[in-house]
Amino acid sequence: MRSSSTTRRADERPAGAQTSEHVVYTSFFGASPDSTFTLARDHFATEEHLKASGMTWTFLRDNFYMDVMPMFVGHDGVLRGPAGDGRVSVVSRADVAAVASSVLLAPDAHRGATYDLTGPESLTATEIAAAISHARGTAVTFHDESIEEAYESRAKWGAPAWQNDAWVSTYTAIASGELSRVTGDVERVTGRPPLTFAAYLAEE
C-alpha cells in the first residue's frame, strides 16, 4: 500500500515561510584544514559549506576568549598546558558580541567579509597567569606541561578523545604561534578599541 503522505518539492515552501539569506557565523581565528587547534578545522569545514550554500555570509573568526582564561586556573592556582612561550591575542566575548551586533544591523555592508577578532595585545600564558594573579590578589602561576602531562592531567575528567584533543590543542595552538597576530578588526567594525585583558579582569 502506498503511503498517504505527500512529498513537498524542494522548491516549494509553506505560505508565509521565511528563508535565511545571510548567515553571520562565529568561526575561529585562522581556521584552516590543518589548524593546530582541532576544532578550528571543523570551523573551516563549516565555512566552506556556507560558501557553497548559495547564501551570503560574514565570518567572525574569534581568537580564544579572555573570559574563560581565569576558569582554566586550577584550584591550586596553576594554569596548566603545553603553551610554551607562545602568544595569543585573546578577545572578550563582549567585543565579539559588539561586532556581531554591528554586522547584523547592516549585513549588506559586511557581505562576504571575514573578520579576525582579537584583543589589542598578544600575551604568553605566563603573562595571562600574572594578570589573573594581580586581579585576584592571590598567587597564580603557569606550568608548561609536556604533551604527555597535558593528556594525563585531563584524563580524570573522563572526556571522549576528541574533547581531550581539543583541550590540549588549545595550548599547543598557542605554542605554535598561530594565534599571536593582533588585528584591528574589532575597532574597524565597532569604532572602538577592544578590551585589554587587564581591563576585562578589572570589570569582573
- Position 167 scores a pLDDT of 97
What digits encode the pLDDT tens for the residues 115-168?
A: 999 999 999 999 999 999 999 999 999 999 999 999 999 999 999 999 999 999
Q: Please identify which residue in the block is written with the cell numbers 584550584.
A: 75
Which distant-in-sequence residues (6+ apart) come within 8 Å of 2 by Cβ?
none
Question: Is the separation of the CB atoms in 99 and 186 below 8 Å?
Answer: yes
Distances (CA, A) of 72 to 78, 126, 143, 154: 9, 13, 12, 12
Tell me the residue type at 122: S
- The Cα 93–Cα 65 span in angstroms is 6
- The Cα 20–Cα 34 span in angstroms is 30
- Position 89 scores a pLDDT of 98
Q: Cα–chain-centroid distance for residue 45? A: 15
Q: Answer whether residue 11 shows pLDDT above 70.
A: no
Q: Phi and psi for 25 in degrees, rounded to 5? A: -110, 130
The strand pair at 56-62 and 114-117 is best described as parallel
Spell out where 39-145 has E strands.
Answer: 56-62, 78-81, 87-88, 114-117, 123-124, 141-144
- Position 6 scores a pLDDT of 36
Candidate from 1-10, 131-140, 169-178 with smallest mean pLDDT: 1-10
- Position 19 scores a pLDDT of 56
Q: CA nearest 147: which of 128, 178, 172?
A: 172
3-state secondary structure of 79: strand
Q: Answer whether residue 3 shows pLDDT above 70.
A: no
Q: Report the 3 state secondary structure along 10-38.
A: CCCCCCCCCCCCEEEEEEECCCCCCCCCH
Q: Answer whether residue 91 shows pLDDT above 70.
A: yes
Give the mean model confidence (pLDDT) for residues 75-98: 98
- Position 4 scores a pLDDT of 36
What burial letters (b/e) apply to 120-156, b meaning 16+ CB within 10 Å?
Answer: bebbbbbebbebbbebeeeebbbbbbeeeebbebbee
- Position 102 scores a pLDDT of 97
Give the mean model confidence (pLDDT) for residues 173-194: 98
What digits encode the pLDDT tens for the residues 15-65?
A: 444 556 899 999 999 999 999 999 999 999 999 999 999 999 999 999 999
